[in-house]
Each structure stands twice: as structure tokens, then as C-alpha cells.
Amino acid sequence: QVQLVESGGGLVQAGGSLRLSCAASGRTFSSYSLAWFRQAPGKAREFVATITWGASNTYYADSVKGRFTISRDNAKNTVYLQMNSLEPWDTAVYYCAATRRAGLFRRVRDYDAWGPGTQVTVSS
């Protein structure tokens, strides 16, 4: 089972950028499909973006399309989320998730490994 740890969160002004990283342990990292989710206070965890094991396919939530980019470096066992043009409604705890299943998945229940999360706060 892969273990995940996010980093890179913080406080940023609206219109700014952040890059989140998710470091994974385990020799089979490259075989996992990966994703980013987020959860704002009082709200359900929601899908942000996902990437297949070979990085050949990605999929984004409509709310972040054109602003966020997911990528991965299998040699470094790391997945990234580049976030540009951040807005206050992007404020949330951001989670990295992994699944052994091949493909692009958007539901929380599709993923069986989660990181502890990293806080992103966007001020207006």
C-alpha cells in the first residue's frame, strides 16, 4: 500500500499561485492512478483533478479547468498540483489520493490511499 504526504499549502492572495506536492512511498507508485481532492469547512470532499499512471491522461473538475494543472514524476514518486489564478473559493484542505485501478476516477470511494492533507487559504 502506498503512503502519501502532501506539502506546499499556505496563504496566498487572490490571483496568486501555489504548487502542491504529494510524495509517495512504495516501489509501485508508477502503477497507481493519482488525484487531488479538496474539502472546505462544512462541505463534502470534492474532486479536483486526476492523472493516470503514465501521465498520458488527465481530467479536471470544471471549477479548476484552465487554472490548475496536475502532473507526476514517477522517478521522484511525486505528484504535483500547480494552482494559478487562485480565488477565495479555492480555500480548502487539499488531499492527495491514489488507487491501483487504471483509469480516471472522480469519486472519493474510488481511492484507497489518502494523505493527511495540506491547507490552502486564499485571501481576497
Write out residues in the chain with pLDDT < 50, as ranges: none
Q: According to the model, what pLDDT value does residue 4 have?
A: 95
* Rounded to 5°, angle at Cα 55 from 53 and 56: 110
Q: How far is CA 77 from CA 4, 19, 40, 56, 113, in A?
A: 10, 16, 27, 16, 14
Question: How many residues comprise the chain?
Answer: 124
Q: How does pLDDT run across 33-51, given as a tens digit for each residue?
A: 999 999 999 999 999 999 9
Q: According to the model, what pLDDT value does residue 26 have?
A: 76
Q: According to the model, what pLDDT value does residue 55 have?
A: 73
Q: According to the model, what pLDDT value does residue 27 have?
A: 66
